[in-house]
């Protein structure tokens, strides 16, 4: 029912993380950054998980007005698509940002250009990708529902923790999502806390997840927090279904 992001074990080698997650899930989202950065699909092929890949995000900006950076960012994400194609994984990407408020309009055009190029690359590789809403980081796209038209035709990843930070979770829950990231916070910091320790109404979240029919990803900061979150979400889901 619940997948897990390797984010909770990002301080461990990827092989260690994959071994440790095996008893609690059969679906894993690789946080393709840091120690878990993928140069090939080889580290994943020894396991029987259903995979998602969260493409590199810390060092890329597909909305950059600096063309070499924008182009390189698309290239990095395309490489993630190539790895994803080998293991049948869908890919999550971030929407990028603009450095100055006055640059928003031209950055929108660069963002759209990058999405067009990524769509072409994904089609050639038979890969599906989704775009994630962002937290309360100034100048990032897709912080609120107002930016949803920018990804029209591309799947949307609802990160409920990010939406809570921007006070727009209800609005995002009303929009069809192709993928979910589940974690909690108190509405001020992106703490990736265990479910039930913050201010998010996960009953409403689980109703939306159930209606979507997709496998949500628990993206909590610690392994123990992931285990606790799966237990809490299982109980919430049962309540939602009236069991």
The dihedral sign for the CA sequence 43, 45, 47, 48? positive
Alpha-carbon gap, residue 235 to 223, rounded angstroms: 19
Where do the DSSP E strands lie in 37-173? 50-54, 90-93, 129-132, 155-159
Question: Residue 184 to residues 5, 57, 122, 153, 165: CA-CA distances in angstroms?
Answer: 14, 21, 31, 28, 10
**Residue ranges making up the domain that contains 103:** 3-240
Residue 243 has pLDDT above 80, yes or no: no
pLDDT tens track for 110-140: 999 999 999 999 999 999 999 999 999 989 9
105 torsion bin: left (phi>0), alpha (psi -120 to 50), beta (else): alpha
The DSSP bridge pattern shows strands 50-54 and 90-93 to be: parallel
- CATH number, domain of 73, equals 3.20.20.150
Mean pLDDT of the chain: 97
> What confidence category does residue 3 fall into, taking pLDDT thresholds of 50, 70 and 90?
very high
Q: What percent of the chain has pLDDT over 70?
A: 100
Alpha-carbon gap, residue 160 to 29, rounded angstroms: 16
Q: Mean pLDDT, to the nearest integer, of 62-74?
A: 98
The total number of structural domains in the chain stands at 1
Integer Rg of the chain from CA: 17
What are the phi and psi torsion angles at 52 (to 5°)? -120, 155
Identify whether the C-beta of residue 78 lies closer than 8 Å to the C-beta of residue 121: yes
DSSP state of 176: -
Residue 162 has pLDDT above 80, yes or no: yes
Q: Mean pLDDT, to the nearest integer, of 9-28?
A: 98
Identify whether the C-beta of residue 63 lies closer than 8 Å to the C-beta of residue 70: yes
> What confidence category does residue 78 fall into, taking pLDDT thresholds of 50, 70 and 90?
very high
pTM above 0.95, yes or no: yes
The DSSP bridge pattern shows strands 27-31 and 155-159 to be: unpaired
């Amino acid at each position: 029912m619940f997948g897990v992001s390797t984010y909770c074990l990002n301080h461990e080698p990827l092989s260690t993380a994959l071994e440790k997650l095996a008893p609690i899930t059969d679906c894993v989202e690789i946080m393709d950054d840091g120690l878990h950065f993928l140069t090939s699909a080889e580290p994943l092929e020894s396991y029987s998980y259903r995979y998602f890949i969260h493409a590199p995000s810390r060092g890329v900006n597909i909305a950059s007005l600096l063309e070499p950076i924008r182009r390189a960012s698309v290239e990095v994400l395309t490489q993630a698509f190539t790895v994803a194609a080998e293991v049948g994984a869908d890919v999550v990407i971030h929407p990028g940002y603009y450095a100055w408020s006055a640059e928003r309009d031209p950055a929108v055009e660069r963002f759209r250009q990058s999405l067009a190029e990524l769509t072409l690359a994904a089609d050639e590789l038979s890969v599906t990708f989704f775009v994630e809403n962002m937290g309360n980081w100034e100048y990032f796209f897709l912080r609120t529902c107002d930016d949803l038209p920018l990804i029209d035709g591309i799947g949307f990843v609802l990160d409920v923790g990010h939406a809570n930070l921007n006070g727009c979770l209800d609005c995002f829950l009303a929009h069809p999502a192709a993928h979910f990231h589940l974690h909690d916070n108190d509405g001020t910091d992106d703490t990736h806390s265990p479910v039930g320790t913050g201010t998010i109404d996960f009953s409403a979240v689980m109703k939306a997840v159930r209606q979507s029919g997709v496998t949500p990803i628990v993206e909590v900061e610690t392994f123990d927090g992931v285990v606790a979150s799966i237990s809490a979400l299982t109980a919430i889901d049962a309540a939602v279904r009236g069991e």
